[in-house]
């Protein structure tokens, strides 16, 4: 569970990022959100909680899946994220969708409130143990569904993180590790990778079973991230949580690192001048026991 300082840092980071979040022209959060909703097997009429809903990457696909006879509730720690999500709700005329500011680590709802609890590229930020997952189990009705997606951490056992293209991993990873050590928010996901609950399918299943879930399913699937240049990839990372890493690098050094990242990625252009980087995403689902 994140402490108060980490929670405040997440709040500030995503408030700063909200305006540009998922608006870079690079398809990333949208495809993950759509795939997560499909993977979660949400159905018409369900009541769904979207934890860390951001600007709505999973929120709006979930709204389509449950239909007007269902309900989707989005929560996010960032007031700015909620503002943009609510704009999307109004633009779409969705009467069965609500979004509010709330700390997703301890959602303030009564027990047995939802048929499904989902979180797209959010829960991995603070979930470290079975204890951190139990609050979501408590919100589910008997047999309810928990589902989440995250950039795959399976490669951390080899000192890599698949969110970074292989060609820039060794360049960026030290900066990421330093950023995580300074923030304290994510450090355990990288330090001692063997103890990271996301490091293997087996550790994921054990964590969820220890939390009280059953019928755990884990699937890793590549998402092709397509950019026109290395510079566009760097700009894209500024519109995600990776902005926190960049902002911790001294300005002159940051420019040099960004230029080198861009240069290396530009060598990956295909005959059409396009760069495609496969990013493995892990999709996880489990059920609340039926009593």
User: What pLDDT score was predicted for residue 136?
Assistant: 97
* Dihedral sign for Cα atoms in the order 34, 36, 38, 44: negative
Percent of the chain with pLDDT over 90: 70
Q: What stretches in the chain show pLDDT beneath 50?
A: 1-5, 185-189, 191-194
CATH number at residue 185: 3.40.50.150
Q: pLDDT per residue over 14-30, tens digit each? A: 898 889 888 989 999 99
User: What pLDDT score was predicted for residue 195?
Assistant: 56
* β-bridge mates for residue 73, sequence order: 49, 98
H helix intervals, 69-163:
79-92, 130-139
CB 257 within 8 A of CB 231: no
- Looking at the 3D structure of the chain, how many domains does it have? 1
CB 144 within 8 A of CB 114: yes
Kindly state the DSSP code that residue 109 receives in the 8-state scheme: -
User: What pLDDT score was predicted for residue 2?
Assistant: 46
Question: What would the two tokens of residue 205 be?
Answer: 């299943």
Cα–Cα distance, 124 to 148 (Å, whole number):
8
Consecutive H or E run containing 226: strand 214-227
Output helix, strand, coil percentages for the chain, rounded to the nearest 5: 45, 20, 35
Q: pLDDT per residue over 113-153, tens digit each? A: 999 999 999 998 888 899 999 999 999 999 999 999 999 88
Strands 140-151 and 114-120, bridge-based pairing: parallel
Question: What would the two tokens of residue 57 be?
Answer: 């990457």
Predicted TM-score of the model (pTM): 0.91
Its domain, for residue 201, covers: 4-287
Consecutive H or E run containing 235: helix 230-238
């Amino acid at each position: 569970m994140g402490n108060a300082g980490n929670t405040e840092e997440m709040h500030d980071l995503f408030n700063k990022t909200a305006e540009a979040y998922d608006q870079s022209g690079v398809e990333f959060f949208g495809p993950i959100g759509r795939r997560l909703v499909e993977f979660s097997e949400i159905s018409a009429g369900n009541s769904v909680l979207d934890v860390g809903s951001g600007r709505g990457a999973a929120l709006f696909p979930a709204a389509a899946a449950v239909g007007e006879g269902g309900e989707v509730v989005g929560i996010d720690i960032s007031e700015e994220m909620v503002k943009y999500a609510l704009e999307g709700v109004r633009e779409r005329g969705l009467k069965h969708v609500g979004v509010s500011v709330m700390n997703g680590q301890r959602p303030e709802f009564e027990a047995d409130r939802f048929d499904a609890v989902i979180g797209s590229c959010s829960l991995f930020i603070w979930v470290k143990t079975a204890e951190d997952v139990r609050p979501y189990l408590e919100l589910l009705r008997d047999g309810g569904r928990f589902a989440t997606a995250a950039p795959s951490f399976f490669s951390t056992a080899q000192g890599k993180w698949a969110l970074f293209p292989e060609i820039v991993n060794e360049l960026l990873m030290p900066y990421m590790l330093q950023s995580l050590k300074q923030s304290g928010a994510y450090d355990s996901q990288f330090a001692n990778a063997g103890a990271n609950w996301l490091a293997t399918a087996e550790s994921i299943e054990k964590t969820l079973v220890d939390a009280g879930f059953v019928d755990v399913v884990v699937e890793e699937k590549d998402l092709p991230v397509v950019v026109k240049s290395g510079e566009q990839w760097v700009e894209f990372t500024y519109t995600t949580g990776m902005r926190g890493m960049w902002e911790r690098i001294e300005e002159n050094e940051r420019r040099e690192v960004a230029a080198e990242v861009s240069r290396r990625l530009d060598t990956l252009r295909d005959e059409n001048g396009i760069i495609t980087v496969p990013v493995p995403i892990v999709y996880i689902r489990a059920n609340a026991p039926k009593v």
